[in-house]
Structure 1
Amino acid sequence: MECREPALVSESDTIVMHQARPYRLSRSALRLITGMLVLAVLTSASGCAAPGRQVVAIGSYDMTEVNQFLSSATPTARGMALVVVKDGKVIESAGYAKFGPGTVVDIGSASRWLAAAAMMTLVDEGTLALDDPVAKYLPEFTGDKAAITIRQLWSYDSGLPATDTSIDDRTLTLEECVKRIASGPLPSLPGTTVSDGSVSIQVGARVCEVISGMTWQEFFRVRITEPLGMDSTSFNLMGFNRNPDVAGGARSTAEDYSRFLTMLLQGGVWSGKHILSEQAVAQIEQDQAPASTIAETPYTTVSSLLPSTSGARPGLGMWREDADPGTETLLIASCPGTYGFTPWIDYKLNLAGVLSMQYDLAKAAYDIMRVRQLVPQAIAAGLRFKDVPATSWAFTAVTDLSARGLVTGYEDGKFHPDNAVTRAEYAKLVCSALGVAPDAVTSDPFKDVTITHWAAGYIAAAVGKGWLTGYPGGLFKPDEPVSVAQALVVITRSQRWNDTATLPYADVQPGYWAHTFIEACFTKGIIKNPDPGIESGGKLSPEGHCTRAQACVLLSRLLALKP
């Protein structure tokens, strides 16, 4: 009898066991928010609102500790909203007190990340180059100021002062404001000192006006808010503003900003369309001033709370909070605002966030960082499924595999633990669990597994290692359910075990085709007796279909044996 082996994957890039349902909130959030976490903590201008959580959408991760922490902060913040999005799915959305994810707030310096992205659309078009001198577009910049580059403007490395009173003068146009800046001082030479401030961003925005022939507000609307559907985001504070504070004057919402961060996480793509090129996104995220001295960043007073010991480095309009010390690969990026609105992206988790409060950023820094610690902890704890409660025999194993990123789920929030596993699914799950990459197939592995089959590479890899075999006639039967015996055979083969034991199962006797493989798994503790959910009444039912829950338990036990 030929051994037929198991599976546990759906036709997506991970074993699909739980995918959070997309949510729709206000008219400004009619499309799916993808790719990240958005957290908004807001302050009411009036009296303190009563604490209370308003759940907008239910997620699949256990955010209890996050919600408790945010609820406890409500009397101080007077209102909060939390939206969590990871791997393209909303996993938590909740409002606290009077605020929700669609509440419009002043986002302060978080405006700069948005503005830099708008500027980079010109770089994508070829009408602007980052190393162009500012004098090419603004001839009023002369002397040492003429050599300031576009790159230096957007990375706080221009040498211009941090602030200028002309930015707050609403009687001026942006053009007039920048001309005053051009006639002002240059505290340090361009390209020598990074100092967080708003003046250089104001100049950079004026360059965009000159090239595009539009006002900054119109340019920003056409390049960013309209294509991303950010209906509640603008620089039009209290009506049309001829001299917008580009570095700190935008208003937005958590759900709006989440669209922007999603686009960045997706390599510049939103709803199937490129807002920015992948190269532009990568440029925004690079250290733009590696040789310059860091004089001041938004984190100067709270540097001890940062994950990196080397301090923040400037990207374009944002800050590189943490990077791999060996490769400089960006791990965490953020752009905190004066009033606490703090968007961030965690590239390790494919997750991002925004924290907003019209409070004091320095005073709120601990709370901001605490939330940013709690959310990854909830992610690391694994997914939670409606049909796999904590009392389930498979709860620990399913949670283990979801925390490892090996399994996810369905849009209904369920795991469907009793569903059978297919051969193709199991090939992918075992390969993924054991760190085996899919083969680069150049021809059809089997007659019924073409080169375009979603699991072709994993099937080829598993067959090549001798873990699975095909059927006569060149068939693999990828959609056929696998049995418990077949699942155990694959595990034994993958480890090359040959241990023997006396089996306690009445339905697995010597002479049974998989007897020796099952012996090895029993010896290693992959199966036990008693073993609720795997065996029943002293019987293993080896020819029964291997379920999703059973496959998770078997592989979780296998992984527990690994050093």
Structure 2
Amino acid sequence: MVCVLTIRAVSDKELFSMKTSTKLTLLIITIALALATWLVTSWQSGQVDRIMTMMDVDRNGVIQTEELSPLMRLRISELDIDGNGDLGPSEVAAYIRSSIFNVIRHKWRARGLPEYPDNVERESLQVALDEMVEVLELPGAVMLVGRNGGEQIRVSSGDFDANKVVSVASASKWVSSAVLMRLVEQGVLTLDAPLNTYIPELDGHWANATLRQLLSHSSGAGPGHAIENPPSMSYRAHFEQLIQIPVKNEPGVKFSYGGISMQIAGYIAEQASGKRWSQLFDELVATPAGMEHSTYGHPFWYSPGVEIQSPNLAGGLYASGQDYFNFLTAVSADGMERRLLTEDSTGQMESDQTSTLVHHSERGPLPEDWFYGLGLWCESPLEGRCTKINSAGAFGTFPWIDRKSGTYGVLVTMGSLAEVMPFALNLRRLAIELER
């Protein structure tokens, strides 16, 4: 076979056209890269400003160790580049970059993880927990599962056991709502009375909002978490600060998940009862439920022995896996002597309150088909009653009850909820299947 190679001369005009096309392509690529760099830099700058504003509670320009989020505190030796014991804006920027890289790396490592069959063995739960800890590079995790008022399964992995106390973040909301519902049972509060019933001088938007709207995040408040208060700020001062924040909607119109409403509810409870929140929690929930090592503080600011004057109800609970399991036992079973809430209170909390409302679009890793009850997420409502309930926390705590099977449990770890959530849902599925 004979191959004939034909070489054609390129005209000056064609050569000029090729050079122009190449230059144009390079220019477009350069502009695109510059735009992408600018967008990433601007986004990162905005994130740095947001984190500094949220965590630098004493406003001294740096984030000290006691002001760090629990997840950042785990990495302080890595993040504190200059070794001076606190984080400045450049170190926060480095944390953001490394977090993005870690998310990508963890997602890559998590690809193709096995789906466990429905006829699972008990060992499958341990394997799945170990796998989560390894893939996400978590310090450890523990999961407790119960049914009919008793513990059925306990598995742990890494440097975690059931007595390790951690910040449970938004898993606080379920417990806080239980405190408030016990006050409703006692007649101290009413779900549908206007708030100026308890604070007559309250006027404007908040005068006509109700406790039901506060607990279902439909009070009209924006999605803020009410955590910018310094530890020395009194609850009254914090309340007055929060009610001055511009509202987004009239009460009962829009679901907007956050912490402002619940923080307002806590102050209302203090005024109506004449007791501090710490006392209400201890008397109404902690002692009867057996939460021996649990306390309220601030989800970020933490210094042992220093009391927070305005504890954060939506995200400031510190609890162990055992304590939270004891709480779930007290609220989950029927006909028990230690049952914490009446059937009516439980029914109110576990009823869909928000599916007919407009929903705020920002809900992070949480599924769009989750609605909200009173202080807890409502999954798969059937005729208005939630068949599954949970109170997922941003730092990896995931408590739940499956009303259909009567199974309940809590996963406790220290990791980003966005990464932990797929594993948590799989672990729950395994636990429910094991207890059928």
TM-score of the pair, normalised by structure 1: 0.53
1:263 CA displacement: 1.6
| 2:384 is equivalent to residue 303 of structure 1 | no
Identical positions, percent: 26
Pick the aligned partner of 1:70 from 103, 107, 129.
129
Q: Deviations over 1:415-442 (max 9, x none)?
A: xxxxxxxxxxxxxxxxxxxxxxxxxxxx
2:352 counterpart letter in structure 1: D
1:207 CA displacement: 0.9
2:248 counterpart letter in structure 1: P
How large is the RMSD of aligned CA atoms in angstroms?
A: 2.4
Pick the aligned partner of 2:145 from 81, 84, 98.
84
Q: 1:69 to 1:273 in 2, by over 3 A?
A: closer
Q: 1:93 to 1:290 in 2, by over 3 A?
A: closer
SS at match of 1:81: strand
| 2:401 is equivalent to residue 358 of structure 1 | no
Q: Deviations over 1:310-347 (max 9, x none)?
A: x11211111101223xx333210011111111111111
1:145 CA displacement: 2.5
Q: Count residues with an aligned counterpart.
A: 316
User: What residue number does 1:264 align with?
Assistant: 331
What is the correspondence of 1:212-231 to structure 2 with a 5 Å cutoff? Answer: 212-231=273-292
Q: Distance in 1 between matches of 2:155 and 2:330?
A: 22
User: What residue number does 1:168 align with?
Assistant: 229
1:144 CA displacement: 2.6
For structure 2, the 5+ residue unaligned runs are: 1-70, 79-119
User: What residue number does 1:144 align with?
Assistant: 205
1:275 CA displacement: 2.9
SS at match of 2:249: coil
Pick the aligned partner of 1:195 from 256, 262, 275.
256
Q: 1:283 to 1:364 in 2, by over 3 A?
A: same
Query: Contact 2:347–2:385 (CA<8 Å) still a contact in 1?
Result: no
| 2:156 is equivalent to residue 98 of structure 1 | no
Q: Distance in 2 between matches of 1:258 and 1:294?
A: 31
Pick the aligned partner of 2:169 from 108, 111, 123.
108
Q: Distance in 1 between matches of 2:409 and 2:362?
A: 20
Query: Contact 1:164–1:181 (CA<8 Å) still a contact in 2?
Result: no
2:372 counterpart letter in structure 1: P
2:122 counterpart letter in structure 1: M
| 2:252 is equivalent to residue 252 of structure 1 | no
Q: Distance in 2 between matches of 1:67 and 1:166?
A: 36
| 2:387 is equivalent to residue 323 of structure 1 | no
User: What residue number does 1:288 align with?
Assistant: 353
Query: Contact 1:102–1:253 (CA<8 Å) still a contact in 2?
Result: yes
What is the correspondence of 1:52-63 to structure 2 with a 5 Å cutoff? Answer: 62-63=121-122
Query: Contact 1:94–1:101 (CA<8 Å) still a contact in 2?
Result: no
1:301 CA displacement: 3.5
Q: Deviations over 1:228-257 (max 9, x none)?
A: 121111104533211111100101111111
Q: Distance in 2 between matches of 1:290 and 1:92?
A: 34
Q: Distance in 1 between matches of 2:211 and 2:262?
A: 10
User: What residue number does 1:45 align with?
Assistant: 74
Query: Contact 1:43–1:359 (CA<8 Å) still a contact in 2?
Result: no
Q: Distance in 1 between matches of 2:72 and 2:242?
A: 33
Query: Contact 1:288–1:315 (CA<8 Å) still a contact in 2?
Result: yes
SS at match of 1:356: strand
Pick the aligned partner of 2:434 from 364, 368, 378.
378
Q: 1:190 to 1:206 in 2, by over 3 A?
A: same
Q: Distance in 1 between matches of 2:73 and 2:206?
A: 42
Q: Distance in 1 between matches of 2:309 and 2:390?
A: 28
1:206 counterpart letter in structure 2: Y
Q: Distance in 1 between matches of 2:433 and 2:242?
A: 46
Q: Distance in 1 between matches of 2:354 and 2:140?
A: 38
Query: Contact 2:331–2:339 (CA<8 Å) still a contact in 1?
Result: no
SS at match of 1:348: coil
User: What residue number does 2:12 align with?
Assistant: none
1:182 CA displacement: 1.4
What is the correspondence of 1:237-248 to structure 2 with a 5 Å cutoff? Answer: 237=302, 238-239=304-305, 240-248=307-315
1:43 CA displacement: 11
Q: 1:166 to 1:329 in 2, by over 3 A?
A: closer
1:118 CA displacement: 0.3
For structure 1, the 5+ residue unaligned runs are: 1-41, 49-60, 305-310, 381-563
User: What residue number does 1:333 align with?
Assistant: 389
User: What residue number does 1:122 align with?
Assistant: 183
Query: Contact 1:284–1:317 (CA<8 Å) still a contact in 2?
Result: yes
Query: Contact 1:201–1:246 (CA<8 Å) still a contact in 2?
Result: yes
Q: Distance in 1 between matches of 2:143 and 2:365?
A: 26
1:129 counterpart letter in structure 2: T
Pick the aligned partner of 1:349 from 405, 408, 428.
405
What is the correspondence of 1:498-513 to structure 2 with a 5 Å cutoff? Answer: none
More helix by percentage: 2
Q: Distance in 2 between matches of 1:208 and 1:302?
A: 29
| 2:374 is equivalent to residue 313 of structure 1 | no
Q: Distance in 1 between matches of 2:366 and 2:290?
A: 34
1:297 CA displacement: 6.8
User: What residue number does 2:238 align with?
Assistant: 177
Q: Distance in 1 between matches of 2:130 and 2:227?
A: 40
Q: Distance in 2 between matches of 1:125 and 1:351?
A: 29
Q: Distance in 1 between matches of 2:200 and 2:248?
A: 20
Q: 1:301 to 1:95 in 2, by over 3 A?
A: closer
Q: 1:354 to 1:183 in 2, by over 3 A?
A: same
Structure ID, larger Rg: 1
1:69 CA displacement: 1.3
| 2:342 is equivalent to residue 277 of structure 1 | yes
Which moves more between the two structures, 177-186 or 111-120?
177-186
Q: 1:142 to 1:297 in 2, by over 3 A?
A: same
1:133 CA displacement: 0.9
Query: Contact 2:365–2:417 (CA<8 Å) still a contact in 1?
Result: no
Q: 1:164 to 1:109 in 2, by over 3 A?
A: closer
